[in-house]
Amino acid sequence: AVVEIKCEGGLYIKELVSGDGGRTKPSLSELLGAEVGGAEEGGVEVKAEVKELDVLEVGIELNGCGGDWGRD
């Protein structure tokens, strides 16, 4: 499955997914009903982990520049 997350800089994506041993709540693993390292759900292992991570877009917001930042 592919999950797209829109966030601000500084968010620890791996911890958001895994839960970081219960230190990050909510986590994607928790929302899926998995525990860190996997859990048995009806005889099927449920596990959430980051296999690939891409930055799709970077935005910048500059306050007080009127949208003309960097122009002469």
pLDDT in tens, 9-48: 888 888 888 888 888 888 888 887 765 455 555 666 666 7
How many structural domains is the chain composed of?
1
- The vertex-24 CA angle with 22 and 7, nearest 5°, equals 155
Check residue 36 and give its pLDDT.
Answer: 46
Q: Which domain holds residue 58?
A: 1-72
Using CB atoms within 10 Å of the CB of residue 7, give its burial: 0 to 12 exposed, 13 to 18 middle, 19+ buried: exposed
- Rounded to 5 degrees, what are φ and ψ at 31? -65, -30
- Is 69's pLDDT higher than 60? no
Q: Which helix (H) or strand (E) holds 64?
A: none
Sign of CA dihedral 22, 25, 29, 31: positive
- When pLDDT is cut at 50, 70 and 90, the band that residue 65 belongs to is low
Check residue 32 and give its pLDDT.
Answer: 78
- Is 1's pLDDT higher than 50? yes
Partners of 6 in beta bridges:
none
